[in-house]
Amino acid sequence: MNDFPLFPEQASTFAGTVDLLYYVLVGLSLVFAGLLPFVILYLIVRYHRSQKVDRSNPVISHLGLELTWTIIPLILVLAVFFWGAFVYIDMRTPPPQALEVYVIGKQWMWHTQHPNGKRENNELHVPIGQPVKLIMTSQDVIHSFYIPAFRVKQDVLPGRYTTMWFEATKPGEYHLFCAEYCGTEHSVMGGRVVALSLADYQQWLTTPGVVILPDGSTGAAAPTVPQVDVDLGTVPAVGDPMVQAGQQLFANLGCASCHRDDGAGQGPSLQGIFGETQALADGSAVVVDENYLRQSILNPMSQVVAGYNPIMPAYDGQVSDDQLNQLIAYIKSLSGIMPETSEGAVGPTAIPEPTAAVAATAGPATTEGPATGGDTGAINADLAAEGEQIFANLGCASCHRDDGAGIGPGLVGLFGESRPLADGGSVVADEAYIRESILNSTAKVAEGYSPIMPPYQGQVNDDQLAALVEYIKSLGE
Protein backbone atom coordinates (compact mmCIF):
# COMPACT_ATOMS: atom_id res chain seq x y z
CA MET A 1 0.00 0.00 0.00
CA ASN A 2 1.30 3.44 -0.88
CA ASP A 3 1.52 5.41 2.37
CA PHE A 4 2.23 8.66 0.54
CA PRO A 5 -0.02 8.77 -2.53
CA LEU A 6 0.44 11.74 -4.84
CA PHE A 7 -3.28 11.78 -5.56
CA PRO A 8 -6.34 10.47 -3.70
CA GLU A 9 -7.78 7.16 -4.77
CA GLN A 10 -10.17 7.27 -7.71
CA ALA A 11 -13.46 6.08 -6.25
CA SER A 12 -16.24 7.73 -8.30
CA THR A 13 -17.35 8.03 -11.90
CA PHE A 14 -16.05 11.61 -11.93
CA ALA A 15 -12.56 10.80 -10.66
CA GLY A 16 -11.02 9.57 -13.91
CA THR A 17 -12.43 12.42 -16.01
CA VAL A 18 -11.44 15.12 -13.53
CA ASP A 19 -7.93 13.69 -13.16
CA LEU A 20 -7.41 13.48 -16.94
CA LEU A 21 -8.49 17.12 -17.35
CA TYR A 22 -6.15 18.07 -14.52
CA TYR A 23 -3.21 16.22 -16.12
CA VAL A 24 -3.84 17.98 -19.44
CA LEU A 25 -3.91 21.39 -17.72
CA VAL A 26 -0.67 20.60 -15.89
CA GLY A 27 0.95 19.43 -19.14
CA LEU A 28 -0.07 22.57 -21.01
CA SER A 29 1.14 24.69 -18.13
CA LEU A 30 4.53 22.96 -18.23
CA VAL A 31 4.78 23.58 -21.98
CA PHE A 32 3.89 27.26 -21.85
CA ALA A 33 5.31 28.15 -18.44
CA GLY A 34 8.15 25.62 -18.33
CA LEU A 35 9.45 25.09 -21.86
CA LEU A 36 8.95 28.49 -23.50
CA PRO A 37 10.97 30.44 -20.90
CA PHE A 38 14.00 28.24 -21.70
CA VAL A 39 13.52 28.84 -25.43
CA ILE A 40 13.39 32.59 -24.80
CA LEU A 41 16.47 32.39 -22.55
CA TYR A 42 18.35 30.47 -25.26
CA LEU A 43 17.51 33.08 -27.88
CA ILE A 44 18.56 35.90 -25.53
CA VAL A 45 21.95 34.31 -24.97
CA ARG A 46 22.41 33.12 -28.58
CA TYR A 47 21.73 36.51 -30.13
CA HIS A 48 23.29 38.69 -27.44
CA ARG A 49 25.40 41.48 -28.94
CA SER A 50 28.51 39.77 -27.58
CA GLN A 51 27.86 36.71 -29.75
CA LYS A 52 29.23 36.48 -33.29
CA VAL A 53 26.17 35.43 -35.31
CA ASP A 54 24.83 36.36 -38.71
CA ARG A 55 22.61 39.39 -38.19
CA SER A 56 22.04 40.15 -41.86
CA ASN A 57 18.55 40.27 -43.26
CA PRO A 58 16.75 40.52 -39.86
CA VAL A 59 13.17 39.22 -39.86
CA ILE A 60 10.76 42.08 -39.22
CA SER A 61 7.58 39.99 -39.42
CA HIS A 62 6.58 36.43 -40.23
CA LEU A 63 2.86 35.91 -40.83
CA GLY A 64 3.03 32.12 -40.69
CA LEU A 65 4.87 32.14 -37.36
CA GLU A 66 2.49 34.69 -35.86
CA LEU A 67 -0.57 32.71 -36.99
CA THR A 68 0.95 29.53 -35.59
CA TRP A 69 1.58 30.87 -32.10
CA THR A 70 -1.88 32.50 -32.07
CA ILE A 71 -4.08 29.78 -33.55
CA ILE A 72 -2.56 26.74 -31.78
CA PRO A 73 -2.86 28.21 -28.24
CA LEU A 74 -6.37 29.44 -29.11
CA ILE A 75 -7.42 25.94 -30.15
CA LEU A 76 -5.89 24.43 -27.02
CA VAL A 77 -7.56 26.99 -24.73
CA LEU A 78 -10.98 26.55 -26.35
CA ALA A 79 -10.66 22.76 -26.23
CA VAL A 80 -9.89 22.84 -22.51
CA PHE A 81 -12.69 25.36 -21.91
CA PHE A 82 -15.38 23.27 -23.61
CA TRP A 83 -14.04 20.06 -22.08
CA GLY A 84 -14.19 21.61 -18.60
CA ALA A 85 -17.65 23.07 -19.31
CA PHE A 86 -19.08 19.69 -20.29
CA VAL A 87 -17.54 18.07 -17.19
CA TYR A 88 -19.00 20.85 -15.02
CA ILE A 89 -22.47 20.47 -16.56
CA ASP A 90 -22.33 16.72 -15.96
CA MET A 91 -21.30 17.26 -12.33
CA ARG A 92 -24.10 19.79 -11.81
CA THR A 93 -26.88 17.68 -13.36
CA PRO A 94 -27.85 14.75 -11.14
CA PRO A 95 -29.81 11.86 -12.68
CA PRO A 96 -33.58 11.98 -12.00
CA GLN A 97 -33.57 8.83 -9.85
CA ALA A 98 -30.60 9.78 -7.64
CA LEU A 99 -30.78 8.78 -3.99
CA GLU A 100 -31.34 12.02 -2.04
CA VAL A 101 -29.53 12.59 1.26
CA TYR A 102 -29.95 15.78 3.27
CA VAL A 103 -26.84 17.36 4.80
CA ILE A 104 -26.64 20.06 7.48
CA GLY A 105 -23.31 21.74 8.18
CA LYS A 106 -22.68 23.24 11.60
CA GLN A 107 -19.64 24.47 13.50
CA TRP A 108 -18.00 22.02 13.50
CA MET A 109 -19.62 18.87 12.21
CA TRP A 110 -21.66 17.33 9.40
CA HIS A 111 -25.13 15.94 10.05
CA THR A 112 -26.67 13.70 7.38
CA GLN A 113 -30.12 12.18 7.10
CA HIS A 114 -31.10 9.37 4.74
CA PRO A 115 -34.51 9.05 3.05
CA ASN A 116 -35.78 6.61 5.66
CA GLY A 117 -34.87 9.01 8.48
CA LYS A 118 -31.64 7.32 9.60
CA ARG A 119 -29.08 9.90 10.71
CA GLU A 120 -25.33 10.12 10.92
CA ASN A 121 -22.83 12.56 12.35
CA ASN A 122 -19.58 13.16 10.45
CA GLU A 123 -20.27 10.01 8.46
CA LEU A 124 -22.04 9.27 5.21
CA HIS A 125 -22.86 5.75 4.07
CA VAL A 126 -23.63 5.42 0.35
CA PRO A 127 -24.19 2.55 -2.09
CA ILE A 128 -21.81 1.97 -4.98
CA GLY A 129 -23.16 2.06 -8.53
CA GLN A 130 -26.01 4.32 -7.43
CA PRO A 131 -26.15 8.10 -8.05
CA VAL A 132 -26.38 9.99 -4.75
CA LYS A 133 -27.61 13.59 -4.59
CA LEU A 134 -26.75 15.66 -1.51
CA ILE A 135 -29.12 18.51 -0.61
CA MET A 136 -27.11 20.71 1.74
CA THR A 137 -27.50 23.76 3.94
CA SER A 138 -25.63 25.38 6.83
CA GLN A 139 -26.89 26.41 10.24
CA ASP A 140 -24.28 29.12 10.74
CA VAL A 141 -21.42 30.03 8.37
CA ILE A 142 -20.19 28.93 4.94
CA HIS A 143 -18.82 25.40 4.89
CA SER A 144 -17.63 23.26 1.96
CA PHE A 145 -18.41 19.55 1.59
CA TYR A 146 -15.35 17.89 0.06
CA ILE A 147 -14.69 14.22 -0.76
CA PRO A 148 -11.24 14.07 -2.43
CA ALA A 149 -11.55 10.44 -3.57
CA PHE A 150 -14.78 11.31 -5.41
CA ARG A 151 -13.34 14.59 -6.82
CA VAL A 152 -16.43 16.51 -5.70
CA LYS A 153 -16.68 19.66 -3.59
CA GLN A 154 -19.52 22.09 -2.99
CA ASP A 155 -19.95 25.13 -0.76
CA VAL A 156 -22.67 24.76 1.87
CA LEU A 157 -24.39 28.07 2.55
CA PRO A 158 -26.63 29.37 5.35
CA GLY A 159 -30.13 30.33 4.32
CA ARG A 160 -30.32 28.28 1.12
CA TYR A 161 -29.74 24.85 -0.39
CA THR A 162 -26.87 23.79 -2.57
CA THR A 163 -26.60 20.38 -4.20
CA MET A 164 -24.01 18.03 -5.58
CA TRP A 165 -24.05 14.43 -6.75
CA PHE A 166 -21.69 11.54 -7.29
CA GLU A 167 -21.65 7.83 -7.95
CA ALA A 168 -19.20 5.74 -5.94
CA THR A 169 -17.50 2.97 -7.89
CA LYS A 170 -15.72 0.85 -5.28
CA PRO A 171 -16.32 -0.12 -1.64
CA GLY A 172 -14.13 1.57 0.91
CA GLU A 173 -13.76 4.35 3.47
CA TYR A 174 -12.86 7.80 2.17
CA HIS A 175 -12.00 11.10 3.83
CA LEU A 176 -14.61 13.82 4.22
CA PHE A 177 -13.43 17.39 4.81
CA CYS A 178 -14.74 20.91 5.19
CA ALA A 179 -12.75 22.84 2.58
CA GLU A 180 -13.85 26.32 3.68
CA TYR A 181 -12.34 27.97 6.76
CA CYS A 182 -15.31 28.13 9.10
CA GLY A 183 -13.90 29.04 12.50
CA THR A 184 -11.42 28.08 15.15
CA GLU A 185 -12.11 24.33 14.95
CA HIS A 186 -12.31 24.14 11.16
CA SER A 187 -9.49 21.59 11.09
CA VAL A 188 -11.52 19.04 13.06
CA MET A 189 -14.61 19.33 10.87
CA GLY A 190 -14.16 16.12 8.96
CA GLY A 191 -15.31 12.55 8.86
CA ARG A 192 -15.59 9.65 6.49
CA VAL A 193 -17.67 8.44 3.58
CA VAL A 194 -18.32 4.69 3.59
CA ALA A 195 -19.15 3.20 0.19
CA LEU A 196 -20.94 -0.16 0.37
CA SER A 197 -22.41 -2.60 -2.09
CA LEU A 198 -26.11 -2.00 -2.62
CA ALA A 199 -27.04 -5.08 -0.61
CA ASP A 200 -24.80 -4.04 2.30
CA TYR A 201 -26.14 -0.49 2.13
CA GLN A 202 -29.73 -1.73 2.32
CA GLN A 203 -28.79 -3.91 5.29
CA TRP A 204 -26.99 -1.01 7.01
CA LEU A 205 -29.94 1.28 6.34
CA THR A 206 -32.34 -1.03 8.15
CA THR A 207 -29.97 -2.21 10.90
CA PRO A 208 -29.87 0.24 13.82
CA GLY A 209 -26.57 0.88 15.51
CA VAL A 210 -24.50 -1.39 13.25
CA VAL A 211 -22.02 -0.36 10.58
CA ILE A 212 -21.26 -2.82 7.78
CA LEU A 213 -17.68 -2.21 6.75
CA PRO A 214 -16.49 -2.48 3.14
CA ASP A 215 -14.85 -5.84 3.80
CA GLY A 216 -18.20 -7.28 4.86
CA SER A 217 -17.47 -7.29 8.59
CA THR A 218 -19.63 -5.42 11.08
CA GLY A 219 -18.86 -3.07 13.89
CA ALA A 220 -20.59 -0.69 16.25
CA ALA A 221 -21.01 2.88 15.10
CA ALA A 222 -18.99 5.09 17.43
CA PRO A 223 -18.39 8.59 16.10
CA THR A 224 -16.99 10.97 18.70
CA VAL A 225 -19.11 13.98 17.78
CA PRO A 226 -22.36 15.35 19.23
CA GLN A 227 -25.81 15.18 17.74
CA VAL A 228 -26.76 18.33 15.88
CA ASP A 229 -28.64 20.55 18.27
CA VAL A 230 -31.93 20.98 16.42
CA ASP A 231 -35.38 21.40 17.86
CA LEU A 232 -37.62 18.77 16.35
CA GLY A 233 -40.77 20.22 17.88
CA THR A 234 -43.75 18.01 17.14
CA VAL A 235 -42.05 15.90 14.48
CA PRO A 236 -42.38 12.16 15.18
CA ALA A 237 -39.54 10.30 16.82
CA VAL A 238 -36.18 10.18 15.09
CA GLY A 239 -35.97 7.29 12.66
CA ASP A 240 -39.37 7.77 10.96
CA PRO A 241 -39.18 8.24 7.18
CA MET A 242 -38.64 11.87 6.28
CA VAL A 243 -41.80 12.03 4.17
CA GLN A 244 -43.92 10.74 7.05
CA ALA A 245 -42.27 13.15 9.47
CA GLY A 246 -42.87 16.02 7.07
CA GLN A 247 -46.50 14.96 6.57
CA GLN A 248 -47.16 14.97 10.30
CA LEU A 249 -45.38 18.30 10.76
CA PHE A 250 -47.45 19.69 7.84
CA ALA A 251 -50.59 18.64 9.68
CA ASN A 252 -49.40 19.85 13.10
CA LEU A 253 -48.61 23.31 11.72
CA GLY A 254 -52.09 23.57 10.21
CA CYS A 255 -50.77 23.86 6.64
CA ALA A 256 -53.46 21.55 5.28
CA SER A 257 -56.21 24.01 6.19
CA CYS A 258 -55.00 26.47 3.52
CA HIS A 259 -53.08 24.26 1.07
CA ARG A 260 -55.98 21.96 0.20
CA ASP A 261 -55.54 19.18 -2.33
CA ASP A 262 -58.58 20.33 -4.31
CA GLY A 263 -57.16 23.86 -4.74
CA ALA A 264 -60.09 25.44 -2.89
CA GLY A 265 -58.03 26.67 0.05
CA GLN A 266 -56.68 30.13 0.79
CA GLY A 267 -53.26 28.97 -0.35
CA PRO A 268 -52.26 27.17 -3.57
CA SER A 269 -52.48 23.41 -3.78
CA LEU A 270 -49.14 21.65 -3.47
CA GLN A 271 -50.11 18.62 -5.54
CA GLY A 272 -47.67 18.18 -8.45
CA ILE A 273 -46.05 21.56 -7.81
CA PHE A 274 -42.38 20.53 -7.50
CA GLY A 275 -40.34 21.15 -10.63
CA GLU A 276 -43.08 23.24 -12.24
CA THR A 277 -42.99 26.95 -13.11
CA GLN A 278 -45.08 29.05 -10.72
CA ALA A 279 -46.52 32.45 -11.65
CA LEU A 280 -46.08 35.09 -8.95
CA ALA A 281 -48.21 38.06 -7.98
CA ASP A 282 -45.58 40.56 -9.19
CA GLY A 283 -45.80 39.19 -12.73
CA SER A 284 -42.61 37.14 -12.58
CA ALA A 285 -42.29 33.37 -12.53
CA VAL A 286 -40.13 30.93 -10.62
CA VAL A 287 -39.29 27.23 -10.85
CA VAL A 288 -40.43 25.37 -7.75
CA ASP A 289 -37.25 23.78 -6.39
CA GLU A 290 -35.90 23.18 -2.89
CA ASN A 291 -34.73 26.78 -2.49
CA TYR A 292 -38.12 28.19 -3.54
CA LEU A 293 -39.93 25.93 -1.07
CA ARG A 294 -37.50 26.89 1.68
CA GLN A 295 -37.98 30.59 1.01
CA SER A 296 -41.76 30.22 0.79
CA ILE A 297 -41.88 28.53 4.20
CA LEU A 298 -39.52 30.88 6.00
CA ASN A 299 -40.55 34.14 4.30
CA PRO A 300 -43.74 33.59 2.28
CA MET A 301 -44.24 37.32 1.58
CA SER A 302 -41.15 37.44 -0.62
CA GLN A 303 -42.70 35.40 -3.45
CA VAL A 304 -46.51 35.41 -3.33
CA VAL A 305 -48.25 33.12 -5.83
CA ALA A 306 -50.47 34.88 -8.34
CA GLY A 307 -54.16 34.81 -7.39
CA TYR A 308 -53.58 34.45 -3.65
CA ASN A 309 -53.41 36.93 -0.79
CA PRO A 310 -50.22 37.32 1.30
CA ILE A 311 -51.71 35.84 4.45
CA MET A 312 -49.33 32.97 5.23
CA PRO A 313 -47.33 33.52 8.44
CA ALA A 314 -43.54 33.38 8.28
CA TYR A 315 -41.95 30.33 9.85
CA ASP A 316 -38.43 31.75 10.06
CA GLY A 317 -37.22 30.80 13.52
CA GLN A 318 -40.22 28.52 14.05
CA VAL A 319 -38.89 25.45 12.26
CA SER A 320 -35.39 24.03 12.26
CA ASP A 321 -33.30 22.98 9.26
CA ASP A 322 -34.19 19.36 10.00
CA GLN A 323 -37.88 20.22 9.96
CA LEU A 324 -37.48 22.18 6.73
CA ASN A 325 -35.86 19.13 5.13
CA GLN A 326 -38.77 16.97 6.25
CA LEU A 327 -41.41 19.42 5.02
CA ILE A 328 -39.71 19.73 1.65
CA ALA A 329 -39.38 15.95 1.34
CA TYR A 330 -43.14 15.67 1.96
CA ILE A 331 -44.04 18.41 -0.55
CA LYS A 332 -41.81 16.77 -3.15
CA SER A 333 -43.60 13.48 -2.53
CA LEU A 334 -46.86 15.19 -3.58
CA SER A 335 -45.33 15.46 -7.05
CA GLY A 336 -44.48 11.77 -7.16
CA ILE A 337 -40.87 12.36 -6.12
CA MET A 338 -40.18 9.73 -3.47
CA PRO A 339 -36.83 8.77 -1.95
CA GLU A 340 -35.66 5.66 -3.76
CA THR A 341 -32.70 3.43 -4.27
CA SER A 342 -32.20 1.37 -7.39
CA GLU A 343 -34.31 -1.33 -5.75
CA GLY A 344 -37.28 0.92 -4.98
CA ALA A 345 -38.51 3.00 -2.11
CA VAL A 346 -36.47 2.92 1.04
CA GLY A 347 -38.37 1.46 3.95
CA PRO A 348 -38.69 3.08 7.36
CA THR A 349 -36.57 2.37 10.40
CA ALA A 350 -38.92 4.04 12.84
CA ILE A 351 -38.48 3.86 16.58
CA PRO A 352 -40.47 0.80 17.53
CA GLU A 353 -43.54 1.16 19.67
CA PRO A 354 -43.26 -1.33 22.54
CA THR A 355 -46.03 -3.88 22.37
CA ALA A 356 -48.55 -4.21 25.17
CA ALA A 357 -46.71 -7.24 26.51
CA VAL A 358 -43.36 -5.49 26.42
CA ALA A 359 -44.60 -2.15 27.71
CA ALA A 360 -45.13 -3.60 31.13
CA THR A 361 -42.27 -3.00 33.52
CA ALA A 362 -42.11 -6.66 34.45
CA GLY A 363 -42.93 -9.91 32.73
CA PRO A 364 -41.88 -13.48 32.31
CA ALA A 365 -38.86 -12.61 30.14
CA THR A 366 -36.66 -11.20 32.89
CA THR A 367 -33.11 -11.59 34.06
CA GLU A 368 -31.59 -10.80 37.38
CA GLY A 369 -29.74 -7.52 37.51
CA PRO A 370 -25.95 -7.54 37.77
CA ALA A 371 -24.22 -7.26 41.08
CA THR A 372 -22.22 -4.18 40.14
CA GLY A 373 -23.27 -0.74 39.04
CA GLY A 374 -26.23 -0.73 41.40
CA ASP A 375 -28.95 -3.31 41.93
CA THR A 376 -31.13 -3.08 38.86
CA GLY A 377 -33.54 -5.68 40.13
CA ALA A 378 -35.45 -7.75 37.58
CA ILE A 379 -34.72 -6.54 34.06
CA ASN A 380 -37.38 -7.01 31.40
CA ALA A 381 -35.18 -8.35 28.60
CA ASP A 382 -37.70 -7.67 25.83
CA LEU A 383 -38.29 -4.12 26.98
CA ALA A 384 -34.51 -3.55 27.27
CA ALA A 385 -34.07 -4.85 23.71
CA GLU A 386 -36.69 -2.36 22.52
CA GLY A 387 -34.81 0.37 24.37
CA GLU A 388 -31.52 -0.66 22.79
CA GLN A 389 -33.00 -0.21 19.31
CA ILE A 390 -34.46 3.19 20.23
CA PHE A 391 -31.09 4.15 21.75
CA ALA A 392 -29.39 3.31 18.45
CA ASN A 393 -31.98 5.05 16.23
CA LEU A 394 -31.71 8.24 18.27
CA GLY A 395 -27.94 8.26 17.78
CA CYS A 396 -27.27 8.12 21.54
CA ALA A 397 -24.36 5.72 21.02
CA SER A 398 -22.48 8.48 19.21
CA CYS A 399 -21.92 10.34 22.48
CA HIS A 400 -22.50 7.77 25.24
CA ARG A 401 -19.77 5.31 24.31
CA ASP A 402 -19.20 2.15 26.31
CA ASP A 403 -15.48 2.91 26.66
CA GLY A 404 -16.19 6.33 28.21
CA ALA A 405 -14.36 8.12 25.38
CA GLY A 406 -17.45 9.93 24.05
CA ILE A 407 -18.48 13.50 24.66
CA GLY A 408 -21.25 12.22 26.93
CA PRO A 409 -20.75 10.05 30.03
CA GLY A 410 -20.63 6.30 29.63
CA LEU A 411 -23.78 4.51 30.79
CA VAL A 412 -22.27 1.14 31.70
CA GLY A 413 -22.65 0.69 35.45
CA LEU A 414 -24.52 3.98 35.81
CA PHE A 415 -27.78 2.80 37.35
CA GLY A 416 -27.83 2.96 41.12
CA GLU A 417 -24.51 4.78 41.41
CA SER A 418 -23.92 8.23 42.90
CA ARG A 419 -22.63 10.60 40.24
CA PRO A 420 -21.13 14.11 40.73
CA LEU A 421 -22.78 16.97 38.86
CA ALA A 422 -21.33 20.05 37.18
CA ASP A 423 -22.93 22.34 39.78
CA GLY A 424 -20.98 20.68 42.60
CA GLY A 425 -23.80 18.48 43.81
CA SER A 426 -24.38 14.79 43.28
CA VAL A 427 -27.26 12.51 42.43
CA VAL A 428 -28.09 8.83 42.59
CA ALA A 429 -28.75 7.53 39.09
CA ASP A 430 -32.17 6.03 39.68
CA GLU A 431 -35.07 5.76 37.25
CA ALA A 432 -36.29 9.28 37.99
CA TYR A 433 -32.84 10.75 37.25
CA ILE A 434 -32.52 8.82 33.99
CA ARG A 435 -35.98 9.95 32.87
CA GLU A 436 -35.21 13.56 33.68
CA SER A 437 -31.84 13.37 31.92
CA ILE A 438 -33.55 12.18 28.74
CA LEU A 439 -36.44 14.65 28.75
CA ASN A 440 -34.55 17.68 30.12
CA SER A 441 -30.89 16.90 29.60
CA THR A 442 -29.55 20.26 30.83
CA ALA A 443 -31.26 20.06 34.23
CA LYS A 444 -28.53 17.97 35.88
CA VAL A 445 -25.34 17.92 33.82
CA ALA A 446 -22.72 15.33 34.77
CA GLU A 447 -19.42 16.69 36.05
CA GLY A 448 -16.76 17.03 33.35
CA TYR A 449 -19.23 17.20 30.45
CA SER A 450 -20.75 20.06 28.48
CA PRO A 451 -24.55 20.63 28.31
CA ILE A 452 -24.81 19.77 24.62
CA MET A 453 -27.36 16.94 24.65
CA PRO A 454 -30.70 18.01 23.12
CA PRO A 455 -33.80 17.46 25.29
CA TYR A 456 -36.16 14.75 24.09
CA GLN A 457 -39.29 16.10 25.77
CA GLY A 458 -42.03 15.54 23.21
CA GLN A 459 -39.77 13.40 21.02
CA VAL A 460 -40.31 10.10 22.82
CA ASN A 461 -43.56 8.85 24.29
CA ASP A 462 -44.00 7.19 27.67
CA ASP A 463 -43.58 3.65 26.33
CA GLN A 464 -40.39 4.57 24.48
CA LEU A 465 -39.07 6.36 27.56
CA ALA A 466 -39.74 3.29 29.69
CA ALA A 467 -37.89 1.13 27.16
CA LEU A 468 -34.88 3.48 27.18
CA VAL A 469 -34.74 3.48 30.98
CA GLU A 470 -34.94 -0.32 31.05
CA TYR A 471 -32.09 -0.58 28.55
CA ILE A 472 -29.88 1.79 30.56
CA LYS A 473 -30.65 -0.18 33.70
CA SER A 474 -29.54 -3.34 31.90
CA LEU A 475 -26.09 -1.78 31.33
CA GLY A 476 -25.27 -1.92 35.03
CA GLU A 477 -22.43 -4.36 34.64
Q: How many Cα atoms are found within 13 Å in the side-chain-facing hemisphere of 284?
A: 7
Listed in order, the ranges of the chain carrying CATH 1.10.760.10 are: 242-345, 356-474
Condensed to tens digits (0 to 9), the pLDDT of residues 241-261 reads: 678 888 888 887 778 778 888
If one counts every other C-beta atom within 10 angstroms of the C-beta of residue 273, the result is 18
Higher pLDDT, 385 or 449: 385
SS (H, E, C) 172-213: EEEEEEECCCCCCCHHHCEEEEEEECHHHHHHHHCCCCEEEC
Taking 90 as the threshold, does the pLDDT of residue 148 lie above it?
Answer: yes
Least confident of 60-64, 139-143, 283-287: 60-64
Percent of the chain beyond pLDDT 90? 25
Residue 196 to residue 202: CA distance in whole angstroms: 9
Task: Tally Cβ neighbours within 10 Å of residue 76.
Answer: 14
pLDDT at 455: 72
Residue 127: the pLDDT is 93
- Give the pLDDT of residue 150: 94
Rounded mean pLDDT, 188-195:
92
From 3.30.70.580, 3.40.366.10, 1.10.760.10, 3.30.1060.10, which CATH number describes the 242-345 domain? 1.10.760.10
pLDDT band at 454 (very low <50, low <70, confident <90, very high): low
Angle at Cα 345 formed by Cα 344 and Cα 350, nearest 5°? 145
pLDDT of residue 137: 92
Task: Label residue 373 by pLDDT band (50, 70, 90).
Answer: very low
B/e letters for 333-367, b = 16+ CB within 10 Å, e = fewer, are bbeebebebeeeebebbbbbebeeebbeeeeeeee
pLDDT of residue 23: 93
Query: What are the pLDDT digits (tens) for 331-362?
Result: 988 887 665 433 443 333 333 344 433 333 33
Q: What percent of the chain has pLDDT over 70?
A: 79
Instruction: Please name the fold of domain 356-474.
Output: Cytochrome Bc1 Complex; Chain D, domain 2 (1.10.760)
151-155, 176-180, 310-314: lowest mean pLDDT where? 310-314
The pLDDT of residue 208 is above 50: yes
Q: What angle do CA 68, 72, 74 make, to 5 degrees?
A: 120
Q: What's the mean pLDDT in 263-269?
A: 82
What is the pLDDT at residue 339?
54
Task: Judge residue 406's burial from the number of C-beta atoms within 10 Å of its C-beta, 0-12 exposed, 13-18 middle, 19 or more buried.
Answer: buried
Residue-level pLDDT at 173 = 93
- Average confidence score pLDDT of the chain: 79
Q: Is domain 99-220 given the CATH code 2.60.40.420 in the classification? A: yes
